[in-house]
Amino acid sequence: MPTPDTHHSPKNLRHNYKRYLKERTIELLLFLAASLSVFITFAIIYLLVSESLVFFEHVSLWDFLTDTQWTPLFDDAHYGILPLVSGTAISSLVALVIALPFGTIIAIYLSEFAPFAVREIAKPFLELLGGIPTVVYGYFALLFVTPLLQTILPGLPGFSLLSAGLVMGIMIIPYVSSMTEDAMRSVPMHLREGSYAIGATRFQTAIKVVMPASLSGIAAAYILGISRAVGETMVVAIAAGMQPNLVWNPMEPAATITTYIVQVSLGDLPHGSIGYQTIFAAGLTLLLLTLVFNILGHLLRKRYREVY
Amino acid sequence: MNHSDNLNEIRAIIAHHKRWDLLALIAGIIALMIAVLTFIALFGNMIIDGMPRLNWEFFTSFPSRKPEMAGILSAWVGTTLVMLVTAVAAVPLGVAAGVYLEEYAPKNFITEIIEINVTNLAGVPSIIYGLLALGLFVYELGLGQSILSAGLTLALLILPIVIVATREAIRSIPVSIREGAYALGATKWQTVADHVLPYSAAGIMTGIIIGLARAIGETAPIITIGALTFIAFLPPSPLQDQFPFISFEWLMEPFTVMPIQMFNWISRPQEAFQHNAAAAGLVLVIMTLLMNGLAIYLRYRLRKNIKW
């Protein structure tokens, strides 16, 4: 009696077909989940651009870029983005003056100097520091740092870009230091050993061998820090006041692009009004700013990439 | 120049470099200490201001115009429900996208676009997600300023975090595991579902917890969708005593969350409300610290236990 050909029995074929169908369906579902991220990007761009286009029917691009007042909710409405941009630039600058040097020094210490035990404790600690909600940092800026600064600088108002920027800087330190450290640690050990072998100290090795070798990663860390500072909202909204001022002095209160969006959202603006569209125009400006930094970071990474 | 002069000169140079080395070491320790001190100041300040308010009534009272009567009942219930929506939306989508990119995606143009997209989305300021949610969820889809809108907004925000964590966890599973499964006749999905995912579950879990810890503290996007800040009632319970026992009415209810409640109290001029803000901040910080701590612990255990 010949053995039945189980492999090609109709039952088995049907089973195989069902199995194939199931596999393809699952793959399609997974693909759809992955493509969602592309859809999100398009949705963001579509929404910001379409609402901004309506906005620019009322306000010329020239006025938007050159007017020095931003008073969209007043009767005498001006739509100049400059005051918001200056507030964003000043607060970010203060933050970066703190975050970049401190972040870099901590990274150098953890990567080149610190004993194993210190690093094992410090890294998770910094990570925890980076996980504290921004609204809490805002509280800290308004009710701890501002009064403290006022004892040193008596003329400092209750809301200022300075204290907001300082706290924002402290908040960004963990991001900068952990990314910089990761970049420095990825430099292979034999480069360091070569440097030590010709008599260099740890500091010389860090500055002249490890940092140049990890320049692309460090640049990426800095860019991430900048783009976080530019997009940060709650600290500035709480500690810097929310009046749009064209100022270049960090000791003044001012609004940033992000705090303007918060301020408008706290009120009750009807959907479709010009005030509603201004926050999308402000959002588009913010997105373009961060996009510029992201592209810059990408180019820097490509330009200085070292391959081992 | 004689021999001993030469030697002295070399000694001087060495001493000089060693001094710099020591300076760098001290600078690193000081920078790290400043980070630690900031954390202590932030935490201590909140404990001093907020601890007296932390009692049972604070957790079981609604916000009130009288600061000493006010509590965070609606805020923590709101946070719990919003997080539930966020997790239900972000976890399957993020894990599916990560699985696709790591296990299925062919090396082609579309895959590359998706990958660049995920990286860029991680760098978009959170308030932009708020604008997206305002335009898309609140108005286009008509979900209003509801728990559902807020949960979905935060889900979009943490999607890149979940995707990246999933990919990293999956990447660390050796190919031999997959080959073993294929050799026994498993299909691709069987391999993924029965082997790759279970082994990378702890790593994925770490990413999900970090993402949710970030979502818990996010304030700006929730303000942007126009969430009310004074909510003195609870949404209808998801569990009903009558058939079908589960109700989804709460999804469409207005809400408040912990960081919004805290922001609301910070913005009041009376000092008594700022003590409430400190107490709410303390609860919020402890929640995020616990979540991040759990994630760090999980990762630590993972690194220790698994040796492929």
State the Cα angle at A229 between A154 and A78, rounded to 5°. Answer: 80
Domain shared by A14 and A114, yes or no: no
Domain shared by B166 and B38, yes or no: no
CB-based contacts of A56, cutoff 8 Å, min separation 6 = A64, A281
Domain shared by B31 and B167, yes or no: no
Q: Can you give the length of chain B in residues?
A: 308
> Whole-model pTM above 0.95?
no
Domain shared by B115 and B33, yes or no: no
A253: left (phi over 0), alpha (psi -120 to 50) or beta: beta
Domain shared by B20 and B99, yes or no: no
A69 domain residue, yes or no: no
* Cβ under 8 Å to B: A residues 154-173: 170, 173
Chosen from B21, B37, B188, B216 to mutate, greatest number of chain A CBs within 10 A = B21
Which residues of chain A are within 8 Å of residue B217 when distances are taken between CB atoms?
131-136
| Angle at which helices A215-231 and A161-185 cross, to 10° | 150
Distance of alpha carbon B293 from alpha carbon B299, whole angstroms: 10
Domain shared by A25 and A92, yes or no: no
B245: left (phi over 0), alpha (psi -120 to 50) or beta: left
Domain shared by A142 and A214, yes or no: yes
* pLDDT higher than 80, residue B3: no
Q: What CATH number does the domain containing B139 carry?
A: 1.10.3720.10
Predicted complex ipTM: 0.87
Domain shared by B138 and B276, yes or no: yes
Chosen from B79, B100, B126, B143 to mutate, greatest number of chain A CBs within 10 A = B100
A73 domain residue, yes or no: no
**Domain that residue B14 falls in:** 3-52
- Which pLDDT tens digits describe chain A residue by residue (308 residues)? 455 555 556 666 667 788 888 888 999 999 999 889 889 999 999 999 998 888 888 888 888 887 777 877 777 777 888 888 888 999 999 999 999 999 999 999 999 998 989 888 888 888 888 889 999 999 999 888 888 888 888 878 888 889 999 999 999 999 899 989 988 988 899 999 999 999 888 999 999 999 988 888 888 889 889 988 998 888 988 888 878 877 778 878 888 889 888 888 887 777 777 778 888 998 999 999 888 888 887 777 777 666 65
Least Cα separation, residue A281 to chain B (angstroms): 11
**Tokens linked to B162:** 């979940």
Look at A133 and B29 and tell me if their CB atoms are within 8 Å.
no
Domain shared by B44 and B115, yes or no: no
Look at B128 and A44 and tell me if their CB atoms are within 8 Å.
yes
Q: How many domains does chain A have?
A: 2
Choose the closest CB to B189 out of A23, A201, A258: A23
Domain shared by A205 and A274, yes or no: yes
**Tokens linked to B190:** 């069987």
Domain shared by A49 and A98, yes or no: no
**Domain that residue A45 falls in:** 6-58
Domain shared by A151 and A241, yes or no: yes
Domain shared by B27 and B154, yes or no: no
Q: What CATH number does the domain containing A120 carry?
A: 1.10.3720.10
